[in-house]
Amino acid sequence: MTGGLPRIWIITDPGHPDGPVTPIRRALEGCSPGLVGVQLRAKGVSDRQLVEWGRALRSLTRAAGCALTVNRRVDLAEIVGADGAHLPERGLPSPEVRRQWPKLAMIGVSRHDRQGLRQAAKEEASYAFLSPIFEVPGKASPIGIEGFGRAIAHVGIPTYALGGVGPEHLCGLITAGAVGVAICRAIYEASQPAEVLQRFSRALDKALAKGG
C-alpha cells in the first residue's frame, strides 16, 4: 500500500459467466497483502444480490489482506463491512458521505478530467480513478499517459489510471505520477487471473524500482 491505499484495484464484472466473485478468488491466490483492492461494481442487480456478493468478497479480501469498496451504494458498503465506498462523478459529495457514514475509511471517486480531480481533492476524497487512459469500447476518447500526467500534476489527490491499462504501461504511468492502476477486463477475460495479477505486480515492482 501507499498511504494506506492499495496499488492495484480490481473492479468486478457481474456479467462474467462465473459471476463476479470466482475470478476474484482465483486472482487473489498468492497475492501479497495490501497490494490489491477490490471494488464491487454491479449495476442493475438487486440489493440482496449486491449484499450476497459483497459479503462473499469481504470474506475473500479480509483473508487476503485486501481492501474492499462498493460502488455507489454507500449504505450497502456499510452493511457488508466494506472498507469504503466508490462514488461516481455525479454521485454524492464525499464530505456528505463522511458525515453520514463515518465508519467508512475510504471514499474513492471516479473522474475524467483535471477539473474533476481538483474538485475531488477539495472535497478530500481518499483517492480518484481517472479514465479512460487507453481505448475502451463505449467510453470517451482516451487521454493517454501524457494526458494522465498533465491532468494529475500538482492536484494533490492519489490517482489511479483506469481504462485499457496493461502491465506494459505501469512504468510510464508510475513515472507520470499514478499511485497505481485500476483494472477489470484484464482479470475477467483471463483464463488464469492469478498469473495476470502477478504480471501487474512484477511490472509495478520494476516501475517503483526505477524511482516511480
Give the contacts of 152 (CB within 8 A, at least 6 positions apart): 114, 117, 130, 159, 176, 177, 178
Mean pLDDT for the stretch of residues 12-26: 97
Sign of the torsion angle spanned by Cα atoms 95, 101, 107, 112: negative
Residue 1 has pLDDT above 60, yes or no: no
d(CA 154, CA 161): 16
What pLDDT score was predicted for residue 208? 93
Sign of the torsion angle spanned by Cα atoms 161, 162, 163, 169: positive
d(CA 63, CA 94): 28
Residue 77 has pLDDT above 50, yes or no: yes
* Buried-exposed string 29-42: b where 16+ CB fall within 10 A, e elsewhere: eebeebbbbbbbbb
Per-residue pLDDT of 100-151, as tens digits, reads: 999 999 999 999 999 999 999 999 999 999 999 998 877 778 999 999 999 9
Mean pLDDT for the stretch of residues 149-157: 97
What pLDDT score was predicted for residue 173? 97
d(CA 93, CA 87): 8
What pLDDT score was predicted for residue 184? 97
* Buried-exposed string 65-98: b where 16+ CB fall within 10 A, e elsewhere: ebbbbbbbbbebbbebebbbbbbeeebbebeebb
Domains recognised in the chain with CATH numbers: 8-209 (3.20.20.70)
| Residue ranges of E strands in the chain | 8-11, 36-40, 67-71, 84-87, 106-111, 127-130, 159-162, 180-183
Nearest to 184 by CA among 10, 43, 2: 10
**Cell 483471463, residue located:** 190
Per-residue pLDDT of 176-192, as tens digits, reads: 999 999 999 999 999 99
Per-residue pLDDT of 32-72, as tens digits, reads: 999 999 999 999 999 999 999 999 999 999 999 999 999 99
What pLDDT score was predicted for residue 140? 79
d(CA 69, CA 54): 9
Residue 212 has pLDDT above 70, yes or no: no
